[in-house]
Amino acid sequence: MPDTTPLLELRNVTKTFGSVEALSDVDFEVRKGEVMALVGDNGAGKSTLIKCIAGTHTPDEGHVFFEGEEVHIHGPRDAARLGIEVVYQDLALCDNLDVVQNMYLGREAHDRFQRLKEPIMEQRTAETMKSLAVTTIGSIRRPVATLSGGQRQSVAVARAVMWNSKLVILDEPTAALGVAQTEQVLALVRRLATQGLSVVIISHNLHDVFETAHRITVLRLGRNVGVYDRATTTQQEVVSAITAGAPTKVSGIPQVAPEATA
């Protein structure tokens, strides 16, 4: 079980774009070693919230705390310095480069003659893959283009983890994956938390959410409408929160009560 010390805390965060209030007075908390799912309909504010954490956006109002201290995150570098890494949906891997090169993309290790420290890069990549039990990739010298979707996602996650990160944010990590590869990635997400990392997973797939998350935060129309414990809630309850209690269709049960049609 994760402890209850918050790693990241947002309080009363508001963000507007012109006349659109994308986030209204949002509180959001992620504890150490916790997988927090962030769910909500299209336009609920999930991406905006993530961008406020990653430094792509600055909140108009509200406060952000990391490890108990108030922080001002003004860009991905600020986020990275704190130990916050985001894996965006498009993954941003370079197909023509191999796994090691992708792990170090933009952060290549050089010696004092500006030569790439290939052996060190290779060793750290191998160690990271091993520590995350990513065993399916084969050679880390394979071009990323030859990997399956699940393997690519594993490389993107491993890359995020390798930089001393404390919080890894995954935006729809299984959206493009088949069943077996999805399970691979979900297992990896669970291992991150076991190793003490905190994870935020955005997903519209409640199966993925219930397979990985300790808690679930629901956004609706820019507001936090509920935080649920996975262990004590049901998918039905979460769906209701997402859709504002709109009745959900249960297959096999007629939509119109029999007496109404009689």
Ligand X SMILES: Nc1ncnc2c1ncn2[C@@H]1O[C@H](COP(=O)(O)OP(=O)(O)O)[C@@H](O)[C@H]1O
- Give the footprint of Mg ion on this chain (CB under 5 A): 46-47
From Mg ion, ligand X, none, interface partner of 224 (C-beta below 5 to 8 A by class):
none
Residue placing its CB nearer to ligand X in the complex, 48 or 198: 48
Residue placing its CB nearer to ligand X in the complex, 22 or 121: 22
Residue placing its CB nearer to ligand X in the complex, 22 or 197: 22
Strand partners, 168: 85, 199
Measured CA to CA, the distance from residue 241 to residue 227 in angstroms comes to: 10
To Mg ion, the closest distance from the beta carbon of 89 in angstroms equals 8
From Mg ion, ligand X, none, interface partner of 17 (C-beta below 5 to 8 A by class):
ligand X
To ligand X, the closest distance from the beta carbon of 20 in angstroms equals 5
Residue placing its CB nearer to ligand X in the complex, 121 or 201: 201
To Mg ion, the closest distance from the beta carbon of 46 in angstroms equals 5
To ligand X, the closest distance from the beta carbon of 17 in angstroms equals 3
CB burial of residue 7 (10 Å; 0-12, 13-18, 19+): buried
What is the tally of helices (H) and strands (E) in the chain? 9, 10
Measured CA to CA, the distance from residue 192 to residue 157 in angstroms comes to: 9
Residue placing its CB nearer to Mg ion in the complex, 46 or 214: 46
From Mg ion, ligand X, none, interface partner of 242 (C-beta below 5 to 8 A by class):
none
From ligand X, Mg ion, none, interface partner of 48 (C-beta below 5 to 8 A by class):
ligand X
CA distance readout (Å), 68 to 30, 65, 203: 12, 6, 27
Measured CA to CA, the distance from residue 23 to residue 112 in angstroms comes to: 46
Q: Are 208 and 181 in contact (CB under 8 A)?
A: no
Instruction: Determine the residue type at 143.
Output: P
Neighbours of 233 (CB within 10 A): 16
Residue nearest to Mg ion (CB): 47
Neighbours of 189 (CB within 10 A): 22
Which chain residues interact with ligand X by CB under 6 A? 17, 20, 22, 40, 42-48
The tokens of 237 are what? 């309850």
- With tokens 């519209």, the residue in question is 204
From ligand X, Mg ion, none, interface partner of 40 (C-beta below 5 to 8 A by class):
ligand X
To ligand X, the closest distance from the beta carbon of 45 in angstroms equals 4
Residue placing its CB nearer to ligand X in the complex, 166 or 215: 215
To Mg ion, the closest distance from the beta carbon of 245 in angstroms equals 23
